[in-house]
Structure 1
Amino acid sequence: MTTQLKMKASQFLTELQTKGLRLTSLDQEHVSRRGGAGPSDHQAITVDGTTLMVPIYTQTAWASPFTLSNEEMSDEGIHNADDTAQNKPFSQLLSNSIPLADVTFAKDPEFYKLSTADGIPYSHIATLHSTDVLATTVLQTCIRYESRRKACQFCSIGQSLRAGRTIAHKTPEQLAEVAKAAVELDGIKHIVMTTGTPAGADRGAKVMCESAKGIKAVVDVPIQGQCEPPKDPIWYQRMKDAGIDSLGMHLEVITPELRKTITPGKSEVSLDEYFQAFEDAVAVFGRGQVSTYILAGLGDTEETIIDTCRKLVAMGVYPFVVPFVPISGTPLEDRPAPTASFMEAVLRPLAQELVNLHMTSDKVKAGCARCGACSSLSRFEKEAADVTV
């Protein structure tokens, strides 16, 4: 890293991810995600060998001290020849006009150039996350989102559908076609499948099974499925048998009162039900292959997050703690992102706990924790591992 900041890489990357990146009109050619499910309003950048999803369309990012140089660096500034093939040319990251580090942007994937026989662009079926992860929201509708009273206050799953950038239901055949192309043309290493919650008691597990079977019939890559805890635990074995390698069931918010306010529909599934679901799922998928998202910065205290994470890790669940990102068009669009110091206070002890129990992100077979780009947690893990050794 060429950064002039006197801080560890984990601290620097956390600062960047919480404050965002202020792009100019000259920078808009790069790959980014606006609206929809998953890491929205972000830009994937690689700095010091770590790829991060960095907010760019948020109000926080518009006031960020981090910007890019107006001119891309020449090939002389590229230290790894492989980067020229996989990424666009280097730019310099600046903070208050002071050069900090060289950064690269993921190039447009080749599979984005293709469409199905009936004319649906592949990018409407699945998208590139980070540099080697294929992601899709199988059902772009959700019983929670459709009710203003029950919708998660941070969610924007319907935005990309309304904008015509995706389709409501991706069939197993469509997913298989796109996955095969992404693996062959772009070297995709694993797949993330999430879904809006349907009305059935399976809460999305059924569509995970159908989709995984379709993909695994044509290409052998690890898949993470993401859904709410199904009412019947038999679905965990069904998902594993269908080809799901790791499972995500996302708490997002921990404190019961906050859950009722921020995730009113999901809060109807109690914390006790979630923790029973985690126990049942770990028994099927194994330690470290079940994960949950926790959005830091929505009101849960440092102590609450750390204590809950320790409980989760002890159960064999990987707590993927990410900074909350206020997404335009949602009820929480004006809520500030958490500070870097808040994130560090949570991530540093969590990383040490994960290292101590040998349950780090590199051991997860597929999914968000394996990718790691939405949090600097994996970088804290590496630093904790170096100290432990």
Structure 2
Amino acid sequence: MSAIELLSDLQCNGMKWEGEVGLSRKGGAGPSDHKAMTLDGQTLMIPVLNLASQDSPYTGKTDPLTGKVIVSKNQIPVATLSAPARPKFYDLVTADGIPYDQIATLHSHDVLATTVLQHCIRMNGKTTACQFCSIDQSLKSGRALIRKRPDQLAEVAKAAVELDGVTQMVLTTGTPNTPDRGAEILYDSVKAIRAQVDLPIQVQCEPPNDFAWFQKLKDAGAVSIGMHLEAVSDRVRQQIMPGKAEVSLDVYFAAFDAAVKVFGRGQVSTYILAGLGDTQQEIIEMTENLAKRGVYPFVVPFVPIQGTALEHHPKPDPAFMQSLYTQIGSQLRQYGLNSQDTQAGCAKCGACSSLKAYE
């Protein structure tokens, strides 16, 4: 099994962890219940804290002598991985006593990420909430602020670049009850960060009502934007994310086209969770449509996060994911899209998916 096949297998199955997990992500937006691990220069986020990982044939533990991660499959050692060290900026606090890691966190090994608004208008309603979302978990546990101020984000970003060599930043947001869908919050944040540090930033939000926000966000200093579909068929959207499904696919397509005109081909992306119920054919048809438009379709294996409505949902089969990756890789080549050309964001980072290896 090659390194990328092993990492893909681990990403779908997860890994039972022996001993203290150490640096990892529990709850919150983005890759949750994961630990970043590296093999042959490729860093991927591997589930270690969710229920599904407890049924995995893989186990991991840290070698106390080397600090490396020993991975076994059915109790037979199969690989030695490394894990990023705790970033130095995690040890700092703001002047008013807020730990930096409650403001932004390290993703992969060199990406700074934060949810600027740790709240969403849909998250507390059974008829509106996205069933896979854990945006409120880190808030309830006291690991994050509900609203990160622009000056706080700028302070942490500057430290993360100077102390830990962070190379890009991702700003996402829960959806507020405003027509801009969070674009204004992101605009203020990007402007403040870019005034303090030269750092490529991707912003992520739902399509705003006024597409003029795309130019405003770019003018503030954002280099790319993500607007995430998560599910691709109306059938699954209505079932899994009923509130967000009220924003039609037609609205998303219009927003994608408008954003590509501003940011350029490959600088607009969307996140697709494979394994929620969309068929392989439905996903492939959607990724082709997106790639044609210049939108990078970042397809990741769905991770059922503990504490959410889908915590017992089946994890996707590795063979299903590898078949998807092969076909999407061909589409990316056909339409001239490559994650290395993306200036910042999930596709550039690539740690939540093995898709990069198939480009």
Q: Same fold (TM over 0.5)?
A: yes
Following superposition, the deviation at residue 102 of structure 1 comes to 1.5
2-structure distance, mates of 1:72, 1:94: 16
1-structure distance, mates of 2:163, 2:4: 32
2-structure distance, mates of 1:164, 1:293: 27
Residue 162 to residue 69, structure 1, CA distance change in 2 (3 Å): closer
1-structure distance, mates of 2:322, 2:352: 14
Residue 215 to residue 359, structure 1, CA distance change in 2 (3 Å): same
Correspondence for 1:177: 155
Mapping for residues 9-24 of structure 1, pairs under 5 Å: 9-24=3-18
Residue deviations 1:292-320, cap 9 Å, x none? 00000000000010111011001000000
Mapping for residues 200-215 of structure 1, pairs under 5 Å: 200-215=178-193
Following superposition, the deviation at residue 71 of structure 1 comes to 3.1
Instruction: Give the root-mean-square deviation of aligned CA atoms.
Output: 1.1
* Pick aligned residue for 2:25 from 10, 24, 33: 33
2-structure distance, mates of 1:231, 1:34: 32
2-structure distance, mates of 1:148, 1:96: 39
Name the SS of the counterpart of 2:43 in structure 1: strand
Following superposition, the deviation at residue 27 of structure 1 comes to 3.5
Residue deviations 1:111-168, cap 9 Å, x none? 0000001110000000000100000000000001132220000001001001000110
Mapping for residues 268-283 of structure 1, pairs under 5 Å: 268-283=246-261
Mapping for residues 313-324 of structure 1, pairs under 5 Å: 313-324=291-302
Residue ranges of structure 1 left out of the alignment (5+ in a row): 1-6, 75-88, 382-389
Are 1:73 and 1:91, in contact at CA under 8 Å, matched by a contact in 2?
Answer: no
2-structure distance, mates of 1:358, 1:258: 29
Residue ranges of structure 2 left out of the alignment (5+ in a row): none
Are 2:3 and 2:39, in contact at CA under 8 Å, matched by a contact in 1?
Answer: no
Q: Does 2:108 align with 1:168?
A: no
Correspondence for 1:344: 322
Residue 70 to residue 222, structure 1, CA distance change in 2 (3 Å): closer
2-structure distance, mates of 1:194, 1:318: 17
2-structure distance, mates of 1:62, 1:195: 30
Q: Does 2:111 align with 1:119?
A: no
TM-score of the superposition, structure 1-length normalised?
Answer: 0.90
Code of the residue aligned with 1:192 in structure 2: it is: V
2-structure distance, mates of 1:38, 1:91: 23
Residue deviations 1:183-235, cap 9 Å, x none? 00000000000000001100011111000000000001100000000011111
Code of the residue aligned with 1:157 in structure 2: it is: I
Correspondence for 2:40: 48
1-structure distance, mates of 2:161, 2:259: 28
* Pick aligned residue for 1:59 from 24, 42, 51: 51
Mapping for residues 205-354 of structure 1, pairs under 5 Å: 205-354=183-332
1-structure distance, mates of 2:62, 2:139: 33
* Pick aligned residue for 1:194 from 172, 176, 181: 172
Are 1:249 and 1:292, in contact at CA under 8 Å, matched by a contact in 2?
Answer: yes
Residue deviations 1:327-381, cap 9 Å, x none? 1111111001100011111111101221233311111100111110000111222
2-structure distance, mates of 1:356, 1:48: 27
Name the SS of the counterpart of 2:101 in structure 1: helix
Code of the residue aligned with 1:51 in structure 2: it is: T
Following superposition, the deviation at residue 10 of structure 1 comes to 3.1
Name the SS of the counterpart of 1:32 in structure 2: coil
TM-score of the superposition, structure 2-length normalised?
Answer: 0.98
Following superposition, the deviation at residue 58 of structure 1 comes to 1.5
**Aligned residue pairs: how many?**
359
Moved over 6 A (4+): none
Are 1:140 and 1:196, in contact at CA under 8 Å, matched by a contact in 2?
Answer: yes
Correspondence for 1:110: 88
2-structure distance, mates of 1:162, 1:63: 27
Correspondence for 1:158: 136
1-structure distance, mates of 2:63, 2:84: 17
Q: Identity rate of aligned residues, in percent?
A: 55
Are 1:225 and 1:244, in contact at CA under 8 Å, matched by a contact in 2?
Answer: yes
Code of the residue aligned with 1:290 in structure 2: it is: V
Are 1:66 and 1:95, in contact at CA under 8 Å, matched by a contact in 2?
Answer: yes
Following superposition, the deviation at residue 11 of structure 1 comes to 2.3
Correspondence for 1:71: 63
